[in-house]
Amino acid sequence: MTFVLMLFSLLTTAFAAESPASTPSMPIQASLAVLRQVGPDGKGSAEAARAWKALVTTDIHQLPEILAGMDGSNALMRNWVRSAIDDILERARVDKKQLPVAALEIFVRDTHHNSQARRLAYELILTVDAKAADRFLPNMTDDPSPELRRDAIARILKQADKAHEEGQKDEARRLYQKSFASAREQDHIDKAARRLRELGQQVDLPKHLGLILEWKLIGPFSNAKKKGVETVYPPEKQLDFGASYDGAAGKVTWTDYTSKDEHGLVDLTKGIGAHKVSVGYAAGEFASAADQVVEVRVGCYNAFKLWVNGELVLDRGDEFTGMRLDHYVAKAHLKQGKNTLLIKDCRGESQPGVPDFWQFQLRICDANGVAILSTTRPASPAPEKKS
């Protein structure tokens, strides 16, 4: 009997909790305003859950208004809205309602809107009109949305390849130059650079990317049992390029190193020596034209730390996880004039079957990936031919 009463109680609770009267009703803008209040540590969640339930009852023709609600929002809020849009779309499919394509197109073309929202709107348009890409992409090579820009550049590269294959060299060169100028991702940049060189044009890739090629290196210091990662060796205390210190294999002094790699790879085995399980430091200078906040983007095969003007801006313990351009990004404040960069590159114990590199690359750019160059940057050296 107790069991039956319990079951009855639970069932009636279930019905009561989901009666139509309890489904929240809220205007779109009110729901969005509540969702904008979400924050860390679950802040605003209870209210947001109610606003979400109201938002999902919105008709699909109001989608552009909901997408616009993501403007100026934080990432959490955008996810609340994104997931609500799924429910709106599902209801519309069941009810056989159509996407408001014309209004979505206007939304996509307005670059003031949030990039993720614009990309979502674009993808929704493509589900009903696959040729919409031809209308949008030609004007999106410098679009603030990274995904839209990437698609636009991929399209131009494809056109350039076609012109190249057909022997239309001038047209191909023009299109590859357009791609090279606007591309922000390594695969597109590299491809455009390669094709331009094939067509006889000189390309300074390190300068285009803002890679730092000139360094002073010192090491090795011990990294036995990874203890070197947290050991504060002398270069971390003071940058004295005339000093010598006790290293892991005798006295060590600073040595000049210029990367001749197209992607600014600094190979410490070449600069310091093929020392295993060691710490090496690389110091660089950057003369900034003005006080400014920049992005320092690093690729490093080893655990590393990066200081800018003595401030630790990146600290990663990952080892043997591969290396790529722009893998780690940190904002840093540069003062007008001379700034110092210091990288501590910590080579760990080698692992079977895994390459054992000791290297990094670093570039300085703005938030869009456009290079910011030192005012004292020397000419890039001739690239080293890879074997």
Partner 1 sequence: MKCGRIACSAGLVVLILGGADWKQYRGSDSTGVATEPAPTRFGADQNVAWKADLPDRGLSSPIVVGDRVFLTASGGLQHDRLFILGFDAKTGHRLWQRSFWGTGPTDAHPKTCMAAPTPASDGRHLVALFATDDLICLDLEGNVLWMRSLYEENPGATDGRGLASSPVIVGQTVVVHLETQNTSLALGIDLKTGSNRWRIDRARMYNWTSPIILPGKTRADNLVLLQGTERLSACDPITGREVWGIKRNSDPIASSVLAGNILFVPGEKGLAAFELQPNGAAPKLLWENVKLNPVTASPLVLGDRIYSLHNGFLVAGDVKTGEVRGQLRLKGPFSASLVAAGGLIYCLNESGLAQVVKPTDKEPVLVESNSLADTILSTPAVAGGALYIRSDKRLWKIAKPISPGTPPDRG
SS3 track for 208-242: HHCECCEEEEEEEEECHHHHHHCCCCHHHHCCCCC
Structure-block tokens of residue 75: 């990432």
| Binding of partner 1 by 53 (CB under 8 A) | yes
- Shortest spacing between CB 94 and partner 1, in angstroms: 5
Q: Which is nearer to partner 1, 76 or 156 (CB)?
A: 76
Q: Binder to partner 1 among 32, 34, 48, 196 (CB under 8 A)?
A: 48
| Cβ-based nearer residue to partner 1, 86 or 198 | 86
Give the CA dihedral 113, 115, 120, 121, nearest 10 degrees. 30
Q: Does 7 bind partner 1 (CB under 8 A)?
A: yes
- Per DSSP, the three-state class of 176 is helix
Contact call for residue 46 and partner 1 (CB under 8 A): yes
- Comparing CB distances to partner 1, the nearer of 89 and 370 is 89
In the complex, the smallest distance separating the C-beta of residue 353 from partner 1, rounded to whole angstroms, is 13
- The secondary structure of the chain in percent helix, strand, coil, rounded to multiples of 5, reads 45, 20, 35
Nearer to partner 1 among residue 133 and residue 249 (C-beta) = 133
Q: Which residues pair with 371 in a beta bridge?
A: 365
The nearest distance, CB 383 to partner 1, in angstroms, is 28
Paired sense of beta strands 311-316 and 303-308, if any: antiparallel
| Residue 41 binds partner 1 (CB under 8 A) | yes
Binder to partner 1 among 327, 333, 338, 377 (CB under 8 A)? 327
Report if residue 78 touches partner 1, rule: CB under 8 A: yes
Per CB under 8 A, does 1 bind partner 1?
A: no
Q: Report CA-CA distances (Å) from 173 to 140, 158, 192, 197, 301.
A: 19, 13, 9, 10, 35
Q: Report yes or no: 44 and 90 within 8 Å, Cβ to Cβ.
A: no
Least separation in angstroms between residue 95's CB and partner 1 is: 10
Distance CA 270, CA 235 (A): 20
Written as one letter, the residue type at 181 is: A
Residues engaged in binding partner 1 (CB under 8 A): 6-7, 10-11, 14-15, 18, 20, 23, 38, 40-43, 45-46, 48-49, 52-53, 56, 75-76, 78-80, 82-87, 90-91, 93-94, 116, 147, 150, 303, 315-319, 321-322, 327
